[in-house]
Amino acid sequence: MKIGTRKFGDIHIDADKILTMPEGLPGFPGFDHFVLIEDKKTAPFCWLQSTQEPDLALVVMDPFLFIPDYQVNVDTLITEMDWKNINRKDLLIYVVVNIFGENETKTITANLMGPLVINTKNNQAVQMIIISPIG
């Protein structure tokens, strides 16, 4: 399948690599099909690229690379999504990264409160919203 991207131009992807987001992506209504693009030139950053809109691509990365003890409780999500017989090793966790500024003054932040959980067994993905207790 061929898709258009702003960063990489037209690329070919395997249809079985398309991620479906049944709940959509918060802030981007109507877009529910994405692909994860890994590029050696931008590692450890990856791209969550919409297959429906070339200009919609989020920078994501594995949070465990910079916070080894990062924890995400996926039990409720597994139940809500009806992911039966899923093994935790079949779930990938990514966080959305924002890069601000120019050259030497770049600031990078990661959204640890909204991890992206990808079920590699059925190619579904959900962006969780983690609510911290107040006080």
What's residue 134's pLDDT? 57
Residue-wise pLDDT tens digits, 99-129:
888 877 888 899 999 999 999 999 999 999 9
What domains appear along the chain, each with residue ranges and CATH number? 2-127 (2.30.290.10)
Burial 29-59 (b: 16+ CB within 10 A, else e): eeebbbbbbeeeeeeeebbbbbbebbebbbb
Whether this model's pTM surpasses 0.85: yes
Mean pLDDT across 84-97: 93
Per the prediction, the chain carries an average pLDDT of 92
User: 57 pLDDT exceeds 60?
Assistant: yes
